[in-house]
Chains A and B, each alone.
Chain A
Amino acid sequence: MSEKDIRDFIETVSKQVTERVLKELRDLSAAPTESACGDDAFECDGPKFECGDYAKFNCGNTFTCNNEFVG
């Protein structure tokens, strides 16, 4: 394979495998437990949220957004 072929191959496989891992992660996080803003992290990409930018909330908490402690 040429260098370009290798780059294209890596790009294609990388995209497909990433989707698979993300799907698996979603399946693993079946039950959101605590969420202050009501959205999950897969949709937490910033400006569209009323709860503010990344610095203000935890996107990583098993796909729940708990920017404020909710008990």
Chain B
Amino acid sequence: MDERVTAIGRAVTGELLSQSPDVPKVVEHIRSETGLSASDSEKLLASIVERLNSAIFPPIGKMELLLIEGCNLACHYCFEGNMLRSSIRPNRRMTCDTIEKAIDLLIRYSGKEEDLQLTLFGGEPTLHVDGIRHAVEYAEECASRSDKKIMFNMTTNGVLLNDEMADYLARHDVRVLLSIDGIESAHDKHRVDRKGRGTFSRVMDGMKLLKKKQPWIGIKMTIMPDIADTLYDSARELHRLGVNQFLIGHATGVSWSRQDMETYAEQTRLLYEWYKGRRGGELKITGFDEERRPGGYFGCSAGRSRVSVAPNGDITGCSRISTLDGKETRGRLGNVHVGLFEIQGRLEMTGCRSLIRNCTELGIAEKYRGGCFATNYEANGDLFAPSLLEYEFSALLEDITSRKRGGKERD
């Protein structure tokens, strides 16, 4: 036994601590040393990987499931295009087996965390209704067996929502986040279907259905440079139409002129001033209430306490990282079969040694925690090389909402 453990230990240590572990090679090594079946050898490796993660890293409490790679829309800025353009199997759907393995992994890697989150994502998740149902019902079953609570979210373009689906989502307490970029003229500029037609009126139909079942409506607004000047009016109008919560972000991976950035910042300032007197109750703008504090850790929660699972079972830190390159998975941390076996990758993502070094060399480390990994990759082809454009955005927006750091309150 000892000799076998030593031999397995040597092989496993070498591979798992390398930059790109060769999982099939380790499984084969375990199989030949132990006489276990290939399946049991994989289970043994998965068990080692799980113990290692538990010893070194924080628990995973949040997971995104990319249920499908396809979408019924063709929004101009969407990363889903990356999945479709070069994917080996376009419109790939997550199988029930992968869904179950992913949820099992979330439960096992969550340690003592009791409150977990599962986000149903895509592509467009409503194109895979069976996947939604299977994920929700299987997760409910697992949560009840393991004394944990799972909160469900789903991000959708809303076009395919119908009564039956809205009813199901409400019954299972799936919180829906709709993608709406603004008033009709702004939304329809970039959020179009495959025939190039605007989708605003169809999304609003979906929103009305949802509102009947789930009164609190949240939306995600993606602001492109050419609609930056509509942000203030859009948010006020959408609130009037029934939207309660806003997650607002500028589009990344596109070119922003200085003028566009200043317009966006000015619109954000107007919105912040409008919001100050109305916050609470029926309105929330995410990011405007949170107190900013200096310091904090570099990077974000991707790979640290949350992961994303692609339809083929590959795991990355977040859905945006999953979709950076349709040819291969960038920043892969593992898969649903063996777990988070890319130990060095997760060390880098949680420790951010390269990101800290790069920010320090650029002289921005004290003000900037390195930004979003995916945006960094879009700008520089490297998850850990900070995007200077994002740094500039961050500085502009910081000035508007900062209070703790003595930011200027304007008239």
Contacts and interface: CB of A to CB of B under 8 A. Distances in A.
Interface of A: 6, 9-18, 20-22, 24-25, 28, 41-42, 54-62, 64, 66-69, 71
Interface in B32-53: 34, 36, 40, 43-44, 47-48, 51-52
B5 interface: yes
A60 B52 contact: no
Classify the interface of chain B: helix, strand, loop or mixed. helix
Classify the interface of chain A: helix, strand, loop or mixed. helix
Contacts of B164: none
A61 B301 contact: no
B350 A14 contact: no
A58 B298 contact: yes
Contacts of B51: 14-15, 18
Interface string B301-325: 1001100000000000000000000
Nearest to A24: B13
Interface string B1-39: 100111011001100110000000000000000101000
25 contacts: A6-B36, A6-B40, A17-B12, A17-B13, A17-B48, A18-B51, A20-B6, A20-B9, A21-B9, A21-B13, A21-B48, A24-B17, A28-B17, A54-B305, A55-B58, A58-B297, A58-B350, A59-B57, A60-B57, A60-B304, A60-B346, A60-B348, A62-B347, A66-B297, A69-B298
A69 B295 contact: yes
B351 A62 contact: yes
Contacts of A13: 4-5, 8, 34, 44
B58 A54 contact: yes
Given A6-B36, A60-B347, A41 B56 contact: yes
Interface residue tally of chain B, by bracket? 35 or more
A42 B55 contact: yes
A60 B56 contact: yes
Contacts of B59: 54
B160 interface: no
Given A22-B52, A60-B350, A69-B366, A10 B47 contact: yes
Contacts of A11: 47
Contacts of B17: 21, 24-25, 28
B47 A58 contact: no
A21 B304 contact: no
Interface in B181-226: none
Given A21-B13, A69-B365, A61 B48 contact: no
B356 interface: yes
B349 interface: yes
B188 to A, nearest CB: 39
A66 B347 CA distance: 13
Nearest to B11: A17
